Chains A and B, each alone.
Chain A
């Protein structure tokens, strides 16, 4: 699945608000400029038209030709021409410089004579308009910035309960058995969200507790009858009148009761690892744990256990689980080594390698860590040892790797 790039909510909302507002503002400034220019030009044209009209009326009345430089100019011409309006530059006597003017020229036939009437007015200078608009833009920006800042503060305060509660959810741990307590908020959606999350987490806690109790109850319910079977058998061993045949029958029952008890214990251990009920992480010396484990196996088999290298491995781990890893890997090696084979053990800085003689590689290495997987049906194995090792490694971030090289099965455990 493609993960989308993550942006903070507040950044995202304020950033888009900022961008859109800026674009809108620039567009409106451009529009404002053109509209202003259009309106001014229109107004100028109208006032020039009305001035020309009045001059026309004066000529009609008594034929007076008014000439006021540079705004009015009337003269007699010979031909009628099309009326036109244009911008022009003229010398302004008052200001003593050349100024832009807008000039309207009309041709009119009055009492048989053709007159050319020109009226002019000072043209609006565009840079003045621009200046005014830029000034207003600056005012806009100032207002906008303060609004943006206020809005940001407001949003932050509105979203605060959300972020506070998000922090609480992050800190939530199902093992702690502590329900989440959210701060009350007056925003309806947040309040609903909190209620839903609380319901959900309470359910998770309850389920987790149930599961924990279930495994504990199962343990009790299975171990007790097994204890009774075992006690009954042990007592009958002491009764001399039982025959040898009955004896071996009882031993079979006893062995299978023990197998069942071991199976039960291992399944519960797996469940507990899955439920993450082991959380202690002390600094332990794995090599010492390993030595104790090797010592305990002493005499159980005739197989030589060769220690190649024994460096100290200091790691943060649960000591009980470390011992289970060592025991299970050793037990596995002993179980599958031919009587003329050997077992070698090596521990370096952060690796523990155990290898044992074998004739051929495991056929299904990918299934090696599955529960109840058995490579040899003939072996009296529960098929849980390696599954437990793998599960422990996974939940503590260590890794285990199997390979077959030089007639040796090699398990390499790399600590985090």
Chain B
């Protein structure tokens, strides 16, 4: 997938590129508004990550420009501004998602995949990993074509694992993905273990084995040996 990262903070831009490249994406960057405008007009992208506060202009203006030209490109806004008004405005202008800084790169990754899965962009709405299949439209998971009953959190967990396969996910990152800001209510994240165990029990023995424990840190979803 070819992704344009329009972000004026160079270090953040580099980190995102480094992370996404590991999933074999082709990443291009734009460090200011004008660079972004010219790149969008010349090249075709499969997705644009758009910072609202670009040094020389507003990401929202860029968004308007893209939509005015009738381009059908998925756009995810990344912004330091947590204001609800900006979020609503961005989504109203046609952005597909809005992510507030700071965010986990794994969270960004799962948002990118969720956007791509949307029917709007003719993506595959199913997630496949060996014998596991997830129909994201029906919110239903299958193992060896047999449906399994998962709670909402377990389902979210499985999707998050597969979209971030082969990456180490700390307990904190998992908790934050599932409960957002509400994780403030608890002092530690050891309880994640309980949820992982429930999920493992619902999968087949082989599938359960994909969830590898990384001692004291977290988990990694992989079919490779560690």
A residues near B (Cβ < 8 Å) are 216, 219-221, 223-224, 226-232, 234-235, 237-238, 244, 247-248, 251, 254-255, 257-258, 261-262, 265, 268, 272, 295-302, 320, 327, 330-332, 334-335, 379-382, 385
Contact = CB atoms under 8 A, between A and B. Distances in A.
B182 A220 contact: no
A224 B101 contact: yes
Contacts of B121: none
Contacts of B82: 219, 223, 265, 268
Size bracket of the B interface: 35 or more
Given A227-B101, A258-B176, A234 B182 contact: no
Interface in B90-129: 100-106
A220 B172 contact: no
A6 B131 CA distance: 81
Contacts of A335: 184-187
Interface of B: 9, 11-12, 15-16, 18-19, 22, 53, 80-84, 100-106, 151-153, 167-168, 170, 172-173, 175-176, 178-187, 191, 195, 215-217
B186 A234 contact: no
A248 B104 contact: no
A227 B12 contact: yes
Listed from nearest, the 10 A-B pairs whose CB atoms lie closest are: A231-B15, A227-B101, A223-B80, A227-B102, A331-B185, A234-B105, A226-B102, A220-B80, A334-B185, A230-B102
A234 B185 contact: no
Contact of B80 (A227, A234, A237, A332): A227
Best-surrounded residue of B151, B176, B178, B181 (most CB of chain A within 10 A): B181
Nearest to A320: B84
Given A219-B80, A227-B101, A235 B19 contact: yes
B151 to A, nearest CB: 7
B83 A224 contact: no
Given A226-B101, A248-B217, A297-B185, A238 B15 contact: no
Contacts of B81: 216, 219-220, 223
B19 A238 contact: yes
B184 A382 contact: yes
Contacts of A227: 9, 12, 80, 101-103
Contacts of A254: 170, 172
B84 A299 contact: no
Contact of B102 (A229, A327, A379): A229
Nearest to B10: A228
Best-surrounded residue of A223, A320, A330 (most CB of chain B within 10 A): A223
A216 B100 CA distance: 13
Best-surrounded residue of A228, A234, A261, A385 (most CB of chain B within 10 A): A234
Contacts of A302: 191
Given A223-B82, A232-B15, 18 more contacts: A220-B81, A221-B80, A226-B102, A227-B103, A228-B11, A230-B104, A237-B167, A238-B22, A248-B217, A255-B172, A262-B184, A297-B179, A297-B182, A299-B179, A300-B179, A300-B185, A302-B191, A335-B186
Contacts of B172: 251, 254-255, 258
14 contacts: A216-B81, A216-B83, A227-B80, A234-B104, A238-B22, A247-B216, A254-B170, A258-B102, A265-B82, A299-B151, A300-B185, A327-B182, A335-B186, A385-B184
Given A251-B217, A327-B181, A220 B53 contact: yes
A220 B167 CA distance: 29
Contacts of A299: 151, 153, 178-179, 195
A194 B195 CA distance: 66
Contacts of A380: 187
Nearest to B84: A320
B101 A237 contact: no
Contact of B183 (A224, A251, A300): A300
Contact of B19 (A234, A255, A327): A234
B173 to A, nearest CB: 8
A184 B40 CA distance: 53
Nearest to B83: A216
Contacts of A237: 167-168, 170
Contacts of A381: 184
A34 B179 CA distance: 97
Nearest to A301: B186
Contact of A331 (B103, B184, B217): B184
Contacts of A261: 102
Contact of B186 (A229, A300, A382): A300
Best-surrounded residue of A237, A247, A258 (most CB of chain B within 10 A): A237
Contact of B106 (A229, A234, A248, A257): A234
A278 to B, nearest CB: 8
Contacts of A297: 179, 182, 185
A329 to B, nearest CB: 11
Best-surrounded residue of B82, B153, B185 (most CB of chain A within 10 A): B185
A196 to B, nearest CB: 33
A334 B176 CA distance: 17
A232 B17 CA distance: 11
Given A237-B170, A238-B168, A228 B12 contact: yes
Contacts of B19: 231, 234-235, 238
Best-surrounded residue of B151, B179, B184 (most CB of chain A within 10 A): B184
Nearest to A384: B184
